[in-house]
Amino acid sequence: MINQTNNHNMRRRIKLRHIQCFTEAVRQRSLKAAADRLNLTQPAMSKTLKELEEILGKTLLIRTRAGTSLTDAGEVFAHFAQMSLSALDHGLDGIAQLDATGKRAEVALAALPSVAAGLLPRAVVEFERLLPSATLRIVDGPVAHLVNLLRDGAVGMVLGRLGEPALMQNLSFTQLYQEEVDFVVRPNHPLLSAGPKIEDIANWPVIYPPAAAAIRPLVERFLIGHGVGRPNIAVETVSGAFGRVYTRESDAIWIISRGVVWNELAEGRLARLPFDTSLTRGPVGLLRREDAEPSAEEGLFLSALTKTIASMGLDTAG
C-alpha cells in the first residue's frame, strides 16, 4: 500500500518533458546532443533531468566528459519510459489515421461465457467512454476454441479461467480476479426452502459443464470431495442462453460459473443454492501470446477492464 501511494505521488509530479528529455539523453548518450534535438539549452536539459531524479529519488544518468551512461535504476526506468512514449505515439498515430481515412481502430478479443455475460458488457461501456473512436470485435465460446483463435492471431487476448497446462503453452496469463462455481435454480424452487445439502442434487435434473469446459474438473473435484457421485445430468452445456431459460422453466439445478449468471442473481431472476463452493474458486484472467506487444487501444481496454472489476467488487485476492 505504501509503494502504491508513493507511485501515485510520483506519477502526479512526473511530466511529459521529463520523459522526453530522459529518453532523448539515453538515445544520444550526450546531454548536448539531446538538448539540440529537443531545441533546448543544455542547462535546461540538465535541470529537467535533475528534477526527474529528485522525484524518483534515484540517480538515473552518470555524466562524464565522454557522455552519459545509465545506472541500474536508469536501465530499468529507460525501458518503461520508452514504452510509454511509444504507446503515446501509437495513440497519436491512431487519431491521425482516423482523421485521414475515417476508419475506426479495432480491438479483437475473445471471452469465455463467465466473462462475456457479467464483466465484459460493463467494461465495454467504460472502454467506449475512454476511446469512442474504436470498435471491439468480441468472440465467445469454449476455452480450447478461443485459445486456438489467439494462437492464430485472430484475437489479441482471451478473457476467462485458466485452462489446462497443456493448453497454456507459450501463452502468458495475468490474473484479474477470482471466481466460484454456483448451483443455481429458479426462484421458488423447492430446494430453496428445504435447507438443502449437496447430496440433495441427486434428486433433481442437473445442467452440467461439458468435458471441454474449464470448470468441469473443479466441479468434479467438488462433488467427489462432498461424497456425491455422478448427478442426474439432464443436459451438458455452459450455454448461457440455454441455461437461463431452461433453469427458469424447470426444476433443474444449473452448475455454472458465477459470472455467467451475475445479472440474473443480482436481479432475482435466478437464485443460488446456499452451498459453500469456495473449493471451486479459481483465477479468471487475461491470456496473451508471449511474443505479443499490446497496442495502445488494447492498453486502454485493459484500463477499462481493471476499473470495471473494482467497481463490481470482484474478488481480486491472489
Pairwise CA distance, residues 232 & 254, whole Å? 12
Looking at the chain, the domain(s) classified CATH 1.10.10.10 span 2-100
Outline which parts of the chain fall under CATH 3.40.190.10: 104-178+283-312, 181-280
C-alpha cell belonging to residue 125:
461501456
Lowest mean pLDDT among 52-66, 86-100, 159-173, 277-291: 86-100
- Going by pLDDT thresholds of 50, 70 and 90, the confidence category of residue 1 is very low
- Paired sense of beta strands 206-208 and 233-236, if any: parallel
Q: Residues 299-311: what's their mean pLDDT?
A: 88
* Residues belonging to the chain: 318
Dump pLDDT digits (tens) for 244-253: 999 999 999 9
Picking from 3-17, 44-58, 103-117, which range would have the lowest pLDDT averaged per residue?
Answer: 3-17
Largest CA distance in the chain: 84
Q: How many CA atoms lie within 13 A of 182 on its CB side?
A: 19
How much is the pLDDT for 2? 47
Q: Read off the pLDDT of each residue in 167-194 and give the average, rounded to a whole number.
A: 90
pLDDT in tens, 185-231: 999 999 998 789 999 999 999 999 998 888 899 999 999 999 998 89
- What whole-number percentage of the chain has pLDDT above 90? 46
Q: Which has the higher per-residue pLDDT, 97 or 163? A: 163
Q: At 74, is the pLDDT very low, low, confident or very high (cuts 50, 70, 90)?
A: confident
Q: Check if the beta carbon of residue 238 is closer than 8 Å to that of residue 218.
A: no
- Give CATH for domain 2-100: 1.10.10.10
Confidence bin at 87 (pLDDT 50/70/90): confident
Residue 116 has pLDDT above 90, yes or no: no
pLDDT over threshold 70, residue 118: yes
- What architecture does CATH give domain 104-178+283-312? 3-Layer(aba) Sandwich (3.40)
113, amino acid identity: P
The predicted pLDDT at position 276 comes to 94
The CA–CA distances, whole Å, from 92 to 16, 53, 87, 89, 130 equal 14, 28, 9, 5, 14
pLDDT digits (tens, 9 = 90+) for 134-167: 889 999 877 888 888 999 989 999 998 876 777 7
Q: What is the pLDDT of residue 99?
A: 52
CATH class of 181-280: alpha beta
- State the pLDDT at residue 76: 87
